[in-house]
Amino acid sequence: MTLHAPYISGSTRPVIRPLDEAAINRIAAGEVVERPASAVKELVENALDAGARRIAVDYAAGGKVLIRVTDDGCGMTGDDLPLAVARHATSKIDGSDLLNIRSFGFRGEALASLGAVGRLTITSRTDGSDGAQITVAGGRLAPVRPAAAVKGTVIELRDLFYATPARLKFLRSDRAEAQAIAEVVRRLAMAEPSVGFTLSEVADGEAPRVIFRADPQSGDFFDALHGRLTGILGPEFTTNALKIDVERDGLRLTGYAALPTYSRGSSVQQFVFVNGRPVLDRVLLGALRVAYFDFLSRDRHPAAVLNLICDPERVDVNVHPAKSEVRFREPEAARSLIITGLRTALSAAGHRASTTVGDATLAAIRPEARVYQMDRPAQSSLARAAQWQAPEALGFAEAPQARLGAPDDRAESPEPNHPLGAARAQLHGNYIVAQTATGMVIVDQHAAHERLVYERLKRQMQDSGVTAQALLIPEIVELSVSDASRLLDHAADLARFGLTIEPFGGSAVAVRETPAILGTVSAAALLRDILDELSDLGRSDSLQAKIEAILSRMACHGSVRSGRQLRPDEMNALLREMEATPHSGQCNHGRPTYVELQLHDIERLFGRR
């Protein structure tokens, strides 16, 4: 099938002609308004730019039939309304500087585009003026007329894409479009925690059904953001998230990032903002992934809400009509700040693991039906009880028993500055049971010691560098001119990890040294892995990842094995080292190294509370 008909000599020459205004607006709308959620995004951002403190969004049929956004912002006069729906008319910028943009909107296309493909009605009033209303349907503008209104603006969009019905065929189900709208509102609510948001679904003959509500949060920025994220992502996220506030070279990173043990099966809880604007940026999301790659397995994803703040002139937001992509003047500085800022916060968290680990443990052991002391135990329970062995049979020395709260037993009780408590037992040759001041912890001795050894090896590598092994015969790798140039630009960084490369004429690269720890390695395959990352992210961490993967395997083989009986002093020494070692709350594969159970939760298991 022929998709286009090229000009053939002798045939009628194509004639260049201008498009009419209606066609131009519909084409522009195709770039700005991809689906109902795109319209909601543009309208809510306009409301935020107008200084709104409360915004209500209503929709029907997934936004295909109705989208209505009501705000209490500054409003518009009757004279403003015709300009508001004209293309490239805006109050956000004067056109003299497209790099110094401090508002969500600035292109002046959204309202004109929505009026070109749907039935748009704007009702607005400012302080000191009467209300006014204007309607645009399929690009046809009606005169401004008086209207009853309170201060602020109500924008109602009906029958989206009725003027371009072919676009309707590409929309998804009402349910899917409604979910996309909710996601847009949630992201913008995270960006503006001091603003109240309400999202409702409207159906004929029924009262509106509230889908999402976020009341305005008070306090300083971090308090407000903490409250907003608790409402949107849930208390589990904020309980297990670390406050992020770092600044360097004129860039500031704020937000919350979750502990590695609070990881997700997908990237659904990754939210990145630039100057408060929600974006989908490969550089920033890639940096988030790199910051956690040493703590999570490949099938797990970190959770974080991060806002990168910088001078607007250092980031270009005018690279896409939907404004969801940005381009940094110094992308490496932004990337480096995210990686170092998150890793510093994770290191400061020390041995801390997420509370979800203990919650999952309690859920796993909580009986379906409560059994009281007078109830008759089942035969399976009696059988399990018969398998318990005396401490002497398990091979560990008897540890002194502490009495919580007894002032004269302070030497034998867990000290407050020892969060992981005092070892009391070793079970099944692998699990250390320790008593804390508020409950108990169960430690996987192999996983914990593996992490400790791994961190020790990384410190040694950082102090002494990566030993390189010289190749007797340099390996020559043929590449494209652009790939060779890109690799050689990063030669100094690669040399820090024991990989020495040099130009070898034309587009060839000579590999003279490789990291000794990798042993025999295919230099060509290694270079291509690095090139893939450089092409995707502008930087490669694959060599460091390969080296650290070797260190991780070495740590696994050099750590305390499961089944080894430990003395009380050895168990306590392991606990103390965990408390002093960053990242010891998770093993090298991202799994928790210990489970903490609070005394009040244990008492509930036995019906004491």
Residue 93 has pLDDT above 50, yes or no: no
Q: Which helix (H) or strand (E) holds 117?
A: helix 110-117
| pLDDT score of 215 more than 90 | yes
Contact of 284 with 307, CB cutoff 8 Å = no
- Give me the pLDDT at residue 531, please: 83
Read off φ and ψ for residue 444, nearest 5 degrees: -85, 105
Copy the structure tokens of residue 544: 């460091």
pLDDT tier at 61 (50, 70, 90 boundaries)?
Answer: very high
Q: Are 435 and 412 in contact (CB under 8 A)?
A: no
**Given a cut of 50, is residue 409 above it in pLDDT?**
no
Residue 422 has pLDDT above 80, yes or no: yes
- Judged on CB neighbours under 10 Å (0-12, 13-18, 19+), 460 is exposed
Tell me the C-alpha distance between 62 and 168, whole Å.
12
Lowest mean pLDDT among 79-88, 145-154, 389-398, 482-491: 389-398
User: Comparing 108-112, 204-208, 258-262, 317-321, which segment has the lowest mean pLDDT?
Assistant: 317-321
Measured between alpha carbons, how far is residue 197 from residues 32, 182, 190, 296 in Å? 23, 11, 10, 34
For residue 401, the 8-state DSSP code is: P
> pLDDT tens for residues 372-393?
333 444 444 333 333 333 344 3
CB 266 within 8 A of CB 232: no
| Cβ atoms 182, 165 nearer than 8 A | no
Report the alpha-carbon distance of residue 39 to residue 537 in Å, rounded: 30
Give pTM, 2 decimals.
Answer: 0.73
Percent of the chain with pLDDT over 70: 79
Mean pLDDT of 430-436: 93
Nearest residue to 279 (alpha-carbon basis) of 188, 341, 343:
188
Over residues 154-165, mean pLDDT: 89
Q: Which pLDDT does position 313 carry in this prediction?
A: 84
pLDDT of residue 170: 85
- Determine the pLDDT at residue 3: 55
Q: How are beta strands 508-515 and 468-478 bridged, if at all?
A: antiparallel
Mean pLDDT across 351-377? 61
Q: pLDDT digit string (tens) for 298-347? A: 788 999 999 999 988 888 876 665 667 788 888 889 999 999 999 999 98
Span 400-417, mean pLDDT? 46
pLDDT band at 443 (very low <50, low <70, confident <90, very high): very high
- The residues pairing with 59 across neighbouring beta strands, listed in sequence order, are 67, 201
Do 333 and 251 contact (CB within 8 A), yes or no?
Answer: yes
pLDDT tens-digit readout, 507-545: 899 999 988 877 787 888 888 888 877 776 565 666 677
Task: State the CB neighbour count (10 A cutoff) for residue 131.
Answer: 21
Which is it for the CA torsion 600, 603, 607, 609, positive or negative?
negative
Tokens of 440: 């108990």
Residue 544 CA, distance from chain mean position: 23
Contact 426, 563 (CB under 8 A): no
What integer is the mean pLDDT of 184-199? 96
Facing residues of 114 across strands?
none
Q: Residue 348 has what DSSP assignment?
A: H
Least confident residue range of 41-45, 232-236, 557-561, 603-607: 557-561
- Return the percent helix, strand and coil in the chain, to nearest 5: 40, 20, 40
Q: Which of 324-328, 481-485, 504-508 has the lowest mean pLDDT?
A: 324-328
Q: Quote the percentage of the chain above a pLDDT of 90.
A: 40
Q: How far apart are CA 307 and CA 228, in angstroms?
A: 14
Between 440-454, 492-506, 540-554, the lowest mean confidence (pLDDT) is in 540-554
Length of the chain: 609
Task: Give me the pLDDT at residue 410, please.
Answer: 40
Q: Is the pLDDT of residue 161 over 60?
A: yes
pLDDT of 461 higher than 90: no
| Closest to 418 in 3D by CA, of 399, 432, 402, 434 | 434
Predicted pLDDT of residue 454:
84
Best CA proximity match to 194, nearest among 310, 48, 46 = 48
Residue 217 pLDDT level (bands cut at 50, 70, 90): very high
Task: Tell me which of 217 and 491 has the higher pLDDT.
Answer: 217
Q: Indicate the residue type of 318.
A: N
Position 436 pLDDT exceeds 80: yes
Strand partners, 257: 242, 304
Q: What is the mean pLDDT of the chain?
A: 81
124-139 tens-digit pLDDT: 999 989 999 999 998 8
Structure tokens at 493: 């960084």
DSSP 8-state code for residue 124: E
One-letter identity of residue 474: P
Please give the residue that has the higher pLDDT: either 324 or 154.
Answer: 154
pLDDT at site 332: 87
Question: What pLDDT is attached to residue 384?
Answer: 39
Domains of the chain plus CATH, in order, are 21-214 (3.30.565.10), 221-348 (3.30.230.10), 410-609 (3.30.1540.20)
Tell me what the mean pLDDT of segment 66-84 comes to.
93
Would you state the pLDDT for residue 605? Answer: 79
* Average pLDDT for 27-46: 82
* 159/515 Cα distance (integer angstroms): 63
Q: What is the mean pLDDT of residues 279-298?
A: 86
Decide if 332 contacts 538 (C-beta within 8 A).
yes
Q: For residue 424, what pLDDT is reported?
A: 93
Arithmetic mean of pLDDT, 428-449: 92
pLDDT bin (cut points 50, 70, 90) of residue 560 is confident
- The rounded distance, in Å, linking the Cα atoms of 417 and 266 is 36
